[in-house]
Amino acid sequence: MNYIGLSKRSVPFVASVAALLLLGLGLKLLGRSPWSVYSGLFAGSLGSRFAIAETLVATIPIIFCALATAVPRWAGLISVGAEGALYAGAVGATYAALQFSHWPSVALVPSMLLLAACAGAVWAAVPALLRVFLGINETIVTLLGNYVAVLLVEYLVHGVWQDPASYSWPQSAAFVASAELPRWPGTRVHLGLAVAILAALLLWVLRSRTVLGLRLEITGSNPTAANYAGYPVRKYQLLVMVVGGILAAMAGWGQVAAIEGRLRSALSPGYGYSGFLVAWMARHHPLGILGFSLLLAAMLTGSDNLQLRQQLPAAMVNIFQGILLFCLLGAEYIADRQTTKMQVAHRGHEEEVPQ
């Protein structure tokens, strides 16, 4: 979203480097070698074929969730409901998998996708309608909805959908083989990756090249101006929220259909929130989201390795995410100030020159 100078574009990179340096300093003070920690992080995330595959597996839901945060933001809405819609999507996909288990794969996989999308859309429509017609803050409603979604899934896996084969485990029955998604041979990387990348590319084109995308940009930047120009602002707000819900539901679909193979209440280690962070790091740009999702997924995967090999607490990655967020906000502030200065300079020089 930057049209003058390079400083704003480079914000995420400067922030990432600064965060690595800061964390390294902290590790040094704790008596750890930052170098070995970082190399462990790298080895665990990108150091082997298996590690790369696992990183890609974690990238998929993060991409979806980040897109699900970015799209509402285009029209000026701040949704933190990706986590909830992810669970809603998982419920939708599970319903299809359990209900149509006798169908062949060609029919079952798309129907799971479709039902997951419907569930996500309905889930997101609730805060969207409340926002558009009653003016209720969408951020709070989506946040609270996340807890409801998890509770809903727990209700299902403890109740009607509980696997009769495993008495006490809160999980649904395992899906039939025809419900499984195609995979890259020998890894857990599944079809969802292609869908995620495709979705990001489509959204990028929509955002930057189409009438709807440009109008959404106006709506997000200044809703008053959008109203003035006669845009159907409410329709747009509904649309972006519902599309966001569908995108996050895709993450849930991928998790149950390809990774877990059944519905469980612990489907996501906070992918929705990681997606939120990624979306803001990428400044809600779909292509940026692809890159930053990979980065964050690599850190999550790498930190598993650190826990196993170097007895570092898992919280370290959370700490790193926090430092990264602060560096990002700080760098953005500095860049904003520079832009403002440049503009003031522009005004001063070019404005009131007599004809």
Partner 1 sequence: MVYQKLSLILTLTVFENLLLGSIGTPFLIRDHKRRKDASLLLEAQGLQVDLDTLVSELTLAQRQLLEIGKLLWRNARILILDEPTSQLAPHEIDEVLRTTRKLANAGRTVLLITHKIDEVLRFADSVTVLRGGEAIATAHARDLTRAELGRLIVGPLQAVPSVDTARALASVPVASLRSVSLTNGSDRTGVFDLDVYGGEVLGIAGVSGNGPEDLAQLLVGSRKSATGEIQFHFGVDVPVAHIPADSRRMGAVDTLPLSRNVFLREFDSPRLCIGPFVRLDVMRNEAASRLKAYGVRPSNPDLLAAALSGGNLQKLIIAREMSCGASLLVAENPTAGLDPASAGDILQRLKLFAREGPAVVLVSADLSELLAISDRVAVFSGKRLIGVERSENLTADSLGMMMGGIRLDIVQQLTNIGTNDGQGLEAIRRLLTSANWWERRVAAQAALLCPDFQEDALIDSLYITEQHEEVRVWLALLQARMRPAGAEILLSEHAERSPEVYLEVVRRLLGTTDNIKFGRELAYRSENPTSLWEAVLYRTGAALWDNLSVASGGRPS
Tell me if 331 sits within 8 A of 15, measured CB to CB.
Answer: yes
Distance separating alpha carbons of residues 331 and 337, to the nearest angstrom: 10
One of 104, 167, 211, 311 touching partner 1 (CB under 8 A) = 211
Residue 4 or 25 with smaller CB distance to partner 1: 4
One of 33, 39, 210, 318 touching partner 1 (CB under 8 A) = 210
Taking Cα atoms as reference points, which of 37, 24, 41 lies closest to residue 301? 41
- When asked if residue 104 is in the footprint of partner 1 (CB under 8 A), the reply is no
CB of 347 to partner 1, least distance (A): 6
Residue 135 or 348 with smaller CB distance to partner 1: 348
- When asked if residue 10 is in the footprint of partner 1 (CB under 8 A), the reply is no
183: left (phi over 0), alpha (psi -120 to 50) or beta: beta
- When asked if residue 215 is in the footprint of partner 1 (CB under 8 A), the reply is yes
CB of 355 to partner 1, least distance (A): 7
Residue 106 or 350 with smaller CB distance to partner 1: 350
Distance separating alpha carbons of residues 189 and 181, to the nearest angstrom: 10
Stretch that binds partner 1, among 67-75, 145-153, 180-188, 204-212 (CB under 8 A): 204-212
Angle between helices 286-310 and 192-209 (to 10 degrees): 140
Q: Quick one: 223 exposed, middle or buried, by C-beta within 10 A (0-12, 13-18, 19+)?
A: middle
One of 4, 151, 194, 329 touching partner 1 (CB under 8 A) = 4
Residue 137 or 208 with smaller CB distance to partner 1: 208
One of 221, 269, 313, 318 touching partner 1 (CB under 8 A) = 221
Using CA atoms, how far residue 136 sits from 89, 126, 141, in Å, is 24, 11, 8
Residue 21 or 342 with smaller CB distance to partner 1: 342
Q: What is the DSSP letter of 8?
A: T
One of 218, 296, 297, 324 touching partner 1 (CB under 8 A) = 218
CB of 233 to partner 1, least distance (A): 12
Residue 17 parent element (H or E): helix 11-29
- When asked if residue 13 is in the footprint of partner 1 (CB under 8 A), the reply is no
Residue 217 or 304 with smaller CB distance to partner 1: 217
Size of interface with partner 1, in residues (CB under 8 A): 31
- When asked if residue 333 is in the footprint of partner 1 (CB under 8 A), the reply is no
Q: Quick one: 134 exposed, middle or buried, by C-beta within 10 A (0-12, 13-18, 19+)?
A: exposed
What are 91's two structure tokens?
A: 């419920």
Residues 6+ apart with CB under 8 A from 144: none
Residue 73 parent element (H or E): helix 49-74
Q: Which of residues 236-265 bind partner 1 (CB under 8 A)?
A: none
- When asked if residue 7 is in the footprint of partner 1 (CB under 8 A), the reply is no
| Interface with partner 1 (CB under 8 A) | 1, 3-4, 208-212, 214-215, 217-218, 221-222, 224-225, 227-230, 339-340, 343, 346-347, 350-355
